[in-house]
Structure 1
Amino acid sequence: MELDPNVQIDIVAVSKLGSEDFDQSTRFVIYKDRLDSYHQATRIINEEYDYCIIQHEFGIFGGADGIFITQIANNLKIPLLTVFHTILQTPSLQQKEITELLLKKSQAVVSLSPKGIELLEEQFDSTHTDKIKVIPHGVPHFDYNQGLAKYRLNLQHNFVMMTFGLIGRSKGLEYAIQSLSEVELPGFKYLIIGKTHPNVLAHEGESYRFELQNLVDQLGLQDKVVFIDKFLTDEELKEYLTACDIYLSPYPHEQQISSGTLSFAVGAGAAVISTPYWHAKDLLKDERGILSPFNDIAAMRANIKMLYQSHRLLAWHRFKARSYGEQTVWANVAKTYLELLQGLATPVRSLFDYEQYIAMDLKREA
């Protein structure tokens, strides 16, 4: 989709370190822990823009539970659209107050999955219900040329399974590695791609990565499991996702309302095996993937082996994922957001860019 040339799209970014290299579409940088920075941002937004979109995640903004974002929400003079990336089933009192304030101040609210609407309706006043919409997480455009992607990555002789994202103990990677033991899978490669999460690095260094590497050695899986310790560029990420046969998402807990990595994998047309966390249950219905029980190594092993051995079943799940993913490319998602904004009070001139913000946020995803 070509954006209307009269629509100006800018980003107000949030910086933790003050040293990040933001793209030229960034209008202003908020320093996460400086309250005055939020006041400056609010002034710029009110003076220069017709709409504000807040991409909300508790860990992005400053103050306890990211409470500094309320300084913007409370002082906006233009329509606000809030996109909730995390909706908690049992929030703390302050987390609930922040969510409720954003609901109240927003003219429109977006959840990335139907489960999010269910949780919001359970916890908050029904007067907000009409303003809450589901818009799926956007994904890049993929060319689906798996053979070429494998060749470029020197994986043309391999069956490729992949997990990507920032590494931490909440990812369940130990279960994924253990599921590959005691089974013959000639030519199989499991790529674990991503840097250690900055918060994990600050508190425990690389201890979790070292534990995973030791587990690989103990199980004798050195020929199957490959760690790629780097941030992928957007193009590199598309290449790896296009090349992979199975995408594995082994989160060990249910309360995950949105996963950009899972959305990207479905968009790439990978056959997905995932534990049944909230977003996975929504996204993988209608045979778009396989749900494997939490912390059940034997079941995960059986599902991997089943897709490895059955070309027909693998192709079917890849087809179902691709068919859905093609509907959620950035262009379609952006069009949906523009239509939603056009239903609010003022004509569209500019907004915070959903596509670029989420692409940036994926590299930091917990």
Structure 2
Amino acid sequence: MGIGVISTYPPRRCGIASVAFHLRQALLAAGEDFVPVVALVKSPTDTLAGPEVVAQIHQHVKGDYRKAAAVLNALPLRAVILEHEFALFGGPLGAHVLELLGALRAPVITVFHTIMASAPPQMIDMVRRVAAASAAVVVLCERARELITTRFGVPPGKVVHIPNGAPLPPEGNSEEWKERLGLSGRTVALTFGLLSPSKGIETALAAVAQVAPDHPELLYVVAGATHPEEVRLRGEGYRARLEQQVAHLGIGGHVRFVARYLTEEEVVQYVHAADLYVTPYVVMEQTSSATLATAAFLGKALLSTPYDYAAELLAGGAGYLFPAGDSAALAQGLRRLLDSPEERARLGEAARARAAEFAWQALGHRYRQLADVLPTPRTVLQQEPPIPPGAGIRARPPLFRRGQPPGGR
């Protein structure tokens, strides 16, 4: 019996899609033979998935959720992993996911990517309902475990902390990858991710302007396309403002935008080439960051605002924390690390030690072990609808096994 995954999934461009891709590969590498995927889709480009995708759920089509459950119920699965983020599912606060959970026979492991201390009562109720329909709940940091068991009232015995995963570095050292990426001779600070105002890039640019006169070697790389939702709602206005800020500050020689969607391989290459990794995020109630986890795992010196995940990961000297929006504090940290390669190395080793258990393959084993102790698949009492051909959901035979490369990239 296998383990199913329900999530956004490549070619959809979002951070959780990347997580699901890596999780599936990790489960296969850990010895799982059968890992089918149900992909949450929103636009036509999302539907170009590989054979591991056995069904698709169009976000706002309520009937798709039960149809997807019927597809999974027909497969030999001992567990299903659901990647949860409120905005991924249709209905108020993603309530359509309850249709899916109520119809699934296999026990569900729900991974909550967002748990906020300031959550309104409606969000708390939704988390409780999703958790009640799940056999186990995974959170990505201890702060999220504390919140979900106290403020959200999820039973502690149901909650497991499994951290963000991180991929292995490519072959070759940092200097070799600098040369390949056109970064040779520079001390590289990097921020990666789908661009939106919540990233706080303007704070980092202001800090670079304060440091650059004394450190001509500094290059700040901002890598990644603008978030699709940001583009849909406001176009490329945020990126244009950042480019104007660079011009106004006169730091064009110290900033490089890689304004496109990077493949998984390219992301790791840029992180591997970097000397410093910066997350100047604005929103403090953030209980996961796959990019920060990757940078820590690869041993980079880390500088971040104290959002929940970063404050926990960087505690005890594993990185520098600075207040959101405080460019002077970030500049102070940058200057200290630019002045002292030894301090950069020390901070990087501290981050690497903190993230030693983040390797995706190791996490694949942990998810398999969790699946092994869940109850056996249950009988679904609700009447399951038939799946008419072409009814908004694509079903495929399970033609994929361990060792077969995934599609969609």
TM-score above 0.5: yes
1:64 partner amino acid: P
Unaligned runs of 5+ in 2: 1-25, 378-397, 402-407
Task: Report if the CA contact (8 A) 1:11-1:26 is conserved.
Answer: yes
Q: Distance in 1 between matches of 2:338 and 2:248?
A: 24
> Which residue matches 1:97?
125
Verify: 1:207 aligned to 2:237, yes or no: yes
State the secondary structure of the residue aligned to 1:110. strand
SS of alignment partner, residue 301 of structure 1: helix
Task: Look up the match of 2:189.
Answer: 161
Give the letter for the 1:289 counterpart.
G
Measured after TM superposition, the shift of residue 197 of structure 1 is: 1.1
| SS state at 1:223 partner | helix
2:343 maps to 313
- Whether contact under 8 Å (1:70, 1:98) holds in the other structure is no
The residue that corresponds to 2:159 in the other structure is 132
Match of 1:111 among 132, 135, 139: 139
In the alignment, is the contact (CA less than 8 A) between 1:266 and 1:322 conserved in 2? yes
The answer to whether the aligner puts 1:17 opposite 2:43 as a matched pair is yes
Residue 345 (structure 1) aligns with = 375
Change (3 A) 1:199 1:3: closer
1:170-219 deviation line (CA, Å, top 9, x unaligned): 11111010011233211211000111111111121111111111111110
Q: Normalised by the size of structure 1, how large is the TM-score? A: 0.91
Residue 226 of structure 1 deviates from its aligned partner by 0.8
Matched, 1:27 2:57: no
Contact 1:273-1:289 within 8 A present in 2 as well: yes
Provide the C-alpha distance between the structure 2 equivalents of 1:22 and 1:320, rounded to a whole number of angstroms: 39
Q: How much has 1:6 moved relative to structure 2?
A: 5.8
Q: Which one of the candidate residues 34, 43, 46 is aligned to 1:8?
A: 34
* % identical aligned pairs: 32
Kept in 1, the 8 Å contact 2:78–2:371? The answer is no
Secondary structure, aligned partner of 1:285: coil
* Residue in structure 2 matched with residue 147 of structure 1 by the alignment: 175
1:230 is paired with a residue whose SS is coil
CA distance in 1, matches of 2:338, 2:147: 37
Structure 2 residue matching 1:29: 3-state secondary structure: strand
Aligned residue in 1 for 2:11: none
Q: How many Å separate the matches in 2 of 1:6 and 1:264? A: 24
Rounded to whole Å, the distance in 1 between the matches of 2:153 and 2:87 is 25
One-letter identity of the residue aligned with 1:339: Q
Map of 2:395 onto structure 1: none
Paired with 2:85 and 2:287, the residues of 1 have a C-alpha distance of: 11
Q: AA paired with 1:43?
A: A
Q: CA deviation at 1:147?
A: 1.5
How do residues 185-204 of structure 1 correspond to structure 2 at under 5 angstroms?
185-204=215-234
Q: Which residue type is aligned with residue 39 of structure 2?
A: A
- What's the counterpart of residue 353 of structure 2? 323
The 3 A distance-change label for structure 1 pair 22 and 325 is farther
Structure 1 residues 163 and 3: alpha-carbon distance in aligned structure 2, compared to 1, 3 A threshold: closer
Aligned to 1:221: 251
- Contact 2:210–2:331 (8 Å) recurs in 1: no
SS in 2 for 1:226: strand
Name the structure 1 match of 2:6. none
Unaligned runs of 5+ in 1: 354-359
DSSP-derived class of the 2:299 partner: coil
Contact 1:103 1:109 in 2 (8 A): yes
TM-score by length of 2: 0.82
- Residue 287 of structure 1: CA displacement? 2.1
- Give, in whole Å, the separation in 2 of the partners of 1:236 and 1:6: 27
Give the corresponding residue for 1:39: 66
- 1:84 deviation in Å? 0.3
What is the CA distance between 1:326 and its match in structure 2?
A: 3.7
Alignment of 1:277-292 (within 5 A): 277-292=307-322
Q: Matched residues in 2 for 1:337 and 1:54: separation?
A: 12
Please state how far the C-alpha of 1:18 moved relative to its aligned partner.
3.0
Q: Distance in 2 between matches of 1:33 and 1:3?
A: 34
* Conserved? CA contact 1:18–1:31, under 8 Å: no
Contact 1:142–1:267 (CA<8 Å) still a contact in 2? no
CA contact (8 A) 1:57 1:84 kept: yes
Q: Which residue of 2 aligns with 1:357?
A: none
- Letter in structure 2 aligned against 1:107: A
Task: Give the superposition deviation at 1:19.
Answer: 2.5
Q: How far apart, CA to CA, are the structure 1 residues paired with 2:270 and 2:37?
A: 28
What is the alpha-carbon distance in structure 2 between the residues aligned to residue 245 and residue 3 of structure 1? 30
Instruction: Determine the structure 2 residue equivalent to 1:57.
Output: 85
> SS of the counterpart of 1:182?
helix
- 1:222 is displaced (CA, Å) by 0.4
Cα deviation for residue 4 of structure 1 reads 6.2
Shift of 1:124: 3.2
Q: 1:263 — aligned with what?
A: 293
**One-letter identity of the residue aligned with 2:174:** Q
Question: Equivalent residue for 2:100?
Answer: 72
